[in-house]
Structure 1
């Protein structure tokens, strides 16, 4: 497998992938074995129709589509491992050459993490104001929290209401 990567604008990478023809042929064989088990071809038991008959019955496109569903993600994953990129999105496949007996060629465009360069961030300063906290501010905050967190508990029947109690 041959892989080249090219960085393009917008934090994207284009992977150009080439794989030998044997990859395509093996994928088509697997696709045939998968499809022939699911399709009824008149005159043949399920799973026993020859490939050329199956292709005529369902069309070559079905086999090619089934094979591409398996091969494209597999080859893409190998290319990602080989180039050591860190994709953050699903790939967009372009210019796919997937024909029996020919090498697989495709381009996959994927977003990657942007490269961020920080220059002289140690010299940056953030303006702030020191606020004076008085005892009155502390008392006010404590009384606010006391009222906010207070619970209403029921009184016993023989207890009388005091000043500040609630009655419902």
Structure 2
């Protein structure tokens, strides 16, 4: 993720943020999964609704709303941290590029920031402030930090066979009687191995394979593909283009600074 800042007027700045295609695709995939697990569409099992069906029946706006709630705040927070800004109001977000396959996400945030005030020691010496004593359970804190680690995890290319939990980048073609089935075909398919987003057999075939390997197999399309295609046996061919491993950040002061408004892990906790 990259960001730039320009001052527009007193106490107001504009952040321009660009999220790389890989990170954007990963977070958008998470939004699709969340929506798929919440909607009910006749003929489809809950949580197994393909992207094309969600876009056609529910609308991509639902995915955008979920993405905005789940992922955009993290991008915004990271940009604030990069430029050492302290906002005093909700930002005005403007999405400039969203939804193009293989393209980055771009947005701007108009932010009203806290003016910098410098006080001499004599001006605040002796002042006392009463603060409420609120201590959340340690388990809640650990869960929140784990969520932040997942949110700020990076994908790095690895030169080894794919294993469950890795992300695979592949071109997948589905055919029946030599006719392509667009609903099950993916170009630049990026998903976590084991998610069974298309068919479970694809994950099983790609497990243990390396970059450049091609797999070919037959599989029956599940109910998620709707009444017209469910139960149809098709031929899949997939080219594995990259294997990526999720790299979770170490939990330390640097992580606290990049993932939050705090300077140390102790302050974050």
Shorter chain as denominator, the TM-score bin is 0.5 to 0.7
For residues 77-114 of structure 1, the C-alpha deviation after alignment (integer angstroms, 9 at most, x for no partner) is 00011111121111111243222421111111111123
Match of 1:2 in 2: 2
Q: CA RMSD in A?
A: 2.0
Deviation of the 1:116 alpha carbon: 5.7
- C-alpha distance in structure 2 between counterparts of 1:82 and 1:71, whole Å: 17
Contact 1:23–1:104 (Cα < 8 Å) also in 2: no
The 3 A distance-change label for structure 1 pair 45 and 16 is: same
Query: Secondary structure in 2 aligned to 1:114?
Result: coil
Q: Paired residues, what number? A: 118
Equivalence map 1:1-168=2 (5 Å): 1-100=1-100, 101-115=102-116
TM-score by structure 2 length?
A: 0.41
- Residue by residue over 1:15-35, the C-alpha shift from the partner in whole angstroms, topping out at 9 and shown as x without a partner, is 111110122211221111111
Distance 2:56 2:95 in 1: 26
SS in 1 for 2:4: strand
SS at match of 1:38: coil
The aligned counterpart of 1:133 is none
Q: Which has the higher helix share?
A: 1
TM-score, scaled relative to structure 1: 0.63
List structure 1 segments (4+ residues) > 4 angstroms apart after TM superposition. Answer: 115-118
Hey, what's the Cα distance between the residues in 2 that align with 1:67 and 1:116?
Answer: 36
Unaligned runs of 5+ residues in structure 2 are 120-269
Aligned equivalent of 1:164 = none
Query: Which has a greater percent of strand?
Result: 2
Who wins on radius of gyration, i.e. which is larger?
Answer: 1
Greater relative CO, 1 or 2 (CA 8 Å, sep 6+): 1
